[in-house]
Structure 1
Amino acid sequence: MKDSEMRFATFARAGRLGWGALTEDGIVPVPGRGRSRGTLKGAIAGGLLTEAAEYAAGRPAEFALSDVTLLPPIPDPAKIFCIGVNYAAHREETGRKEVGHPTVFTRFADSQVGHGQAMVVPRSCERFDYEGELAVVIGRGGRHIGAKDAMAHVAGYSCYNDGSARDWQRHTSQFTPGKNHPGSGAFGPALVTPDEIGDYRELPIETRLNGDVVQRGSLDQLLFSIEEVIEYISGFTPLQPGDVIVTGTPSGVGERRDPPLYMKAGDVVEVQAGAVGTLVNPVVQAD
């Protein structure tokens, strides 16, 4: 495995958590030692991803994907920031006005599931919507990070589905209740380092519901770039290794279709962001 081929996943197996390199054949677990504290987030904080890639190079997969449960790449980020209305076409379909700063709301870590795990339609929710997005994982923390320096603070990318309970989201002008039901968001399958991706602006992004394309866009369409978003967020709070920024969704959300299209139990939803990979989740109804 070369530095430009780093893909790392967090997994559960037999009740224990681990992390390692994700390959076509499965997982090459990386043993916890030294500065990594035995987690992918710890390895990012310790600057150990290149060392981990060197460790995994040439080693066979120890666990098949069928033997593990993939979790969000960072199961316990200290902060998850979501950027709302960050594509022009999505802004137009929502009828929102142009703004001078990114629209930022937060998610809680326990609202997320990993690749292959079920997204959960909340109780008392009849409008559970999909939002395919690119997630950015912070590698080097900081405060007041300038846009020109921002990409040096990025550890990698992943796919995200910012599942939204629209009926809860529309209770007031605040998004939080509609974005934080347990199991409503999905994150994964792996952390992919910037070396593998190159210029993130060239990434396409697509959401499919039961195989049908419902969203399609490109990261060069962001109203506020990743660099600008990092600059803005770090202007009001320190960023830490492992923090997650979810960059926004293109047009085509179910709420704005005629007729509306929502996720329901039995559906399968996919978010694909070019070389970053494809996040796949079945949908179930909350008990």
Structure 2
Amino acid sequence: MKLLTFVREGEYRLGVKLDGGVLDVVGASQHQPDVPSTIEQLLKGGAAARAALQDLVERSRDAETELLDEAALTLAPCVNHPGKIICVGLNYLRHARETNSEIPEYPILFNKFTNSLAGHGEAVPLTRESDQVDYEAELAIVIGSTAKHVDKSSALDYVFGYCNANDLSARDLQMRTSQWLLGKSCDKFLPLGPYVVTSDEVGDPNRLAIRCEVNGEVRQQSNTADMIFPCDEIVSYVSRFMTLEPGDLILTGTPEGVMLGRPADQRAYLKDGDMVTVEIEKLGTLTNRMVLER
């Protein structure tokens, strides 16, 4: 399934993308208590919630339930209440090389916070404290069940699905200290979506085409096969140190092509009005406009 979150009357509502439009889960279910009305309820509700949603989708198809026009919806981050947002740095071989970095022996972990979340189509403010904001197309893992000390061989069994992410980074703030947090966690510096696509539809997450465009110009074009630490290894590794819970996000790193990888005199960082698009195979397209912070 392809799942999204949209805003209706000031509330987040769960939608399912179907061939003819978007199924409004709340409207179709008439508030049946067993059917999740938000992505958070779906993720935390386990197998029972997923089965109830699947049943609703099938019944709605049979009844030819009226669908919403996706283009008319205001989308929210496809996962909007993650308990943890864990990020992996320097996880693409060619990206490590373009930045003249050593190939990491272990996954480099850092974090973002929920203030950084933004939805598809939402304007992203360029913080007034930086003039070096960079794009980073990334595959995000959405955890679906509690994971602690899981083996690599079974790690993907704990994954609910995947989505597009843009790990926006203020490079000057990022490099102020040895900790990257400041440059990574400005408001709305993590556009996410438009969909969470369930793992059964995605298949192998380590073989997906990934790209980023700025104003229609391709800046990044690679494949998740270039990751140094693949998705199953990342989930297993993180679970050794902290319990992963349903709804947690893991960003898996960005490929080559970021501004930071260019010579200093050739770096054209994001500016007011720039349109940034992240597209990953099977996951749709995530687009956001950059605007100057007021």
- Percent of aligned pairs with the same residue? 36
State the alpha-carbon separation in 2 of the partners of residues 160 and 206 from structure 1.
11
State the alpha-carbon separation in 1 of the partners of residues 50 and 121 from structure 2.
24
Q: Name which of 221, 229, 245 aligns with 2:226.
A: 221
Q: Counterpart of 1:78?
A: 83
Q: Name which of 5, 11, 14 aligns with 1:10.
A: 5
Q: Which amino acid aligns with 1:200?
A: P
Q: Is this contact kept in 2: 1:159–1:278, CA < 8 A? A: yes
Q: Counterpart of 1:3?
A: none
Unaligned runs of 5+ residues in structure 1 are 1-5
For residues 177 and 140 of structure 1, do their structure 2 counterparts lie closer, same or farther at Cα, with a shift above 3 Å needed?
Answer: same
Q: Counterpart of 1:274?
A: 281
Q: Secondary structure at the match of 2:109?
A: strand
Residue 266 of structure 1 deviates from its aligned partner by: 0.7
Q: Counterpart of 1:153?
A: 158
Deviations 1:140-195, CA, capped at 9 Å, x for gaps: 11211111110100000100000001111010111100011001221000100111
Unaligned runs of 5+ residues in structure 2 are none
Runs of 4+ with >6 A deviation: none
State the alpha-carbon separation in 2 of the partners of residues 125 and 271 from structure 1.
22
Q: Counterpart of 1:136?
A: 141
State the alpha-carbon separation in 1 of the partners of residues 14 and 273 from structure 2.
30
Q: Counterpart of 2:191?
A: 186
More displaced 10-residue stretch of structure 1: 56-65 or 261-270: 56-65
Q: Which amino acid aligns with 1:242?
A: G
Q: Name which of 251, 255, 269 aligns with 1:262.
A: 269
Q: Is this contact kept in 1: 2:162–2:196, CA < 8 A? A: yes
Deviations 1:233-259, CA, capped at 9 Å, x for gaps: 111110000000010000010122240
Q: Counterpart of 2:53?
A: 52
Residue 35 of structure 1 deviates from its aligned partner by: 5.8
Q: Is this contact kept in 1: 2:142–2:249, CA < 8 A? A: yes
TM-align CA RMSD: 1.6
2:258 corresponds to 1:253: yes
More displaced 10-residue stretch of structure 1: 128-137 or 64-73: 64-73
State the alpha-carbon separation in 2 of the partners of residues 61 and 213 from structure 1.
37
2:128 corresponds to 1:123: yes
State the alpha-carbon separation in 1 of the partners of residues 191 and 127 from structure 2.
14
Q: Name which of 216, 220, 233 aligns with 2:238.
A: 233
Paired residues for 1:161-200 under 5 Å = 161-200=166-205
More displaced 10-residue stretch of structure 1: 78-87 or 9-18: 9-18
How many residues end up aligned between the 2 structures?
Answer: 282
Q: Is this contact kept in 1: 2:36–2:53, CA < 8 A? A: no
